Amino acid sequence: MTAAIAVDTFNRVRTGITRIFRSHYRQRPFISIERERKARRTKAQKKIVRDLDYYARLEGLEVVSFDVVTDDRFVLKLFRVIDPNEPIQIRKNRYPILLIHGLLQSAGAFCVNDESSLAFYLTKSGYDVWLGNNRCGFDHRHLDYSYNDPRMWDWDVREMGTLDLPAFVDHVLHVTGYKKIALACHSQGTTQTFLALSRSHTPDFGKKISVFCALAPAVYAGPLVDRRFFKFIRYIPSWMYRICFGVHAFIPSMISLRKIIPKSWLAYFSYAMFHYLFHWSDERWEKALSGRMFQFSPVYVSAESMRWWLGRNGFASRRCILPDSEEPWFDDRCPPFALWIAGQDLLVDGLRLITRLETLEPHVALLRKDVISEYEHLDVLWAVDSVDHIAKGVKEVVWSTAFERENCRCPTGCEDL
């Protein structure tokens, strides 16, 4: 954190000096839109809270929460975005779509951009939108284990894919009565899904999914995993990793800080830390909303999960979530895929995934492979123009593949599909 703050302070000072002495200083790409939106934002819209329902109500919607229990007895949070003024019978005609967040994130990542939020945009378009929080998150609940029990934290992304994800999907199918749903995930959420769909894990899961939309898919590692900090974690043996990071939650002090510091400070510290670690910036985000964005992250994850990502013989070492051989990962139970790749993403390599799906995966129908050259890893969710580059495409792909869609309400703008 000290290094992150020092680097951020240096960057801010350098930017300020450049702005003063350079006549052609490069402005943020959406600065005029940011200023216009900030000027008309109400006091209620400026309020910073960690409450999905609060931000949904600002858009005329509501969020209903459910508890979902996994096969290994974790209690997860699942949220449904609804239009409170819509009759229940009409609501049943909406096609369901489940959104799953990335590493150290939560469902709030899809709800912080006002009307441009992916969850709210899809709801207003006519979909039945569900949001899943992976195990622990803000609410570390288990039917048998307590926080201090190491067994509470003995899991990684494989359990998220084969236990959390099916639990969410089964609950949505049960409540809605549909036979299949659409799935849209960001970053680690895509990792969970690719693992679950693979022949080596739970391929039958694919029969419940009409289409899988992967945003900044985390399958192949990008150059960022070679940074010194990540290399340190990669090279130390397992016993030393456990001495440094324990066998419970990964750096739980990140979560404890939110209880003792003001929300604006929390947003600053969180942004500085993520920017330092992952080298993404907020250049394309609406800067006035950064306080919201970092109210919903970081969250509790297990030290074991971070070891899977960064430790010895983990993702950073193998540089791929599955064996990178010429053997197919998926069989004919796999649903169609649609990919949105961030061209400036240093964390993961989406172009390499496209190559594999096109050359080594005969059972995969790749419906879409959009590469947004100027985007970074989180821009697929938070960029000012993410509706045009991401949300509209997701809306169209989901409808074009919807299962038994003759019984569903057609989303706005999809009449010709």
DSSP 163: I
The whole-number pLDDT of residue 272 equals: 81
Name which of 113-117, 184-188, 225-229, 406-410 the model is least confident about.
225-229
Share of the chain above pLDDT 70, in %: 96
Query: Which of 371, 369, 367 shows the shortest CA–CA distance to 398?
Result: 367
Radius of gyration of the chain measured on its C-alpha atoms: 21
CB 153 within 8 Å of CB 304: yes
The whole-number pLDDT of residue 114 equals: 95
Mean pLDDT of 304-322: 94
Mean pLDDT of 370-380: 97
Q: pLDDT-derived band of residue 89, with 50, 70 and 90 as boundaries?
A: confident
Residues designated catalytic: 187, 345, 377
CB 398 within 8 Å of CB 416: no
CB 164 within 8 Å of CB 132: yes
CATH number corresponding to 47-222+327-407: 3.40.50.1820
pLDDT at 330 over 60: yes
Greater pLDDT, 229 or 310 = 310
pTM above 0.85, yes or no: yes
CB 127 within 8 Å of CB 410: no
pLDDT in tens, 130-184: 999 999 998 899 999 999 999 999 999 999 999 999 999 999 999 999 999 999 9
- Phi-psi category of residue 176: left, alpha or beta, with phi > 0 → left and psi -120 to 50 → alpha: alpha
The whole-number pLDDT of residue 266 equals: 77
pLDDT at 22 over 70: no
DSSP 408: S
Instruction: For residues 298 and 270, give the distance between their C-alpha atoms in angstroms, rounded to a whole number.
Output: 7
Q: pLDDT-derived band of residue 26, with 50, 70 and 90 as boundaries?
A: low
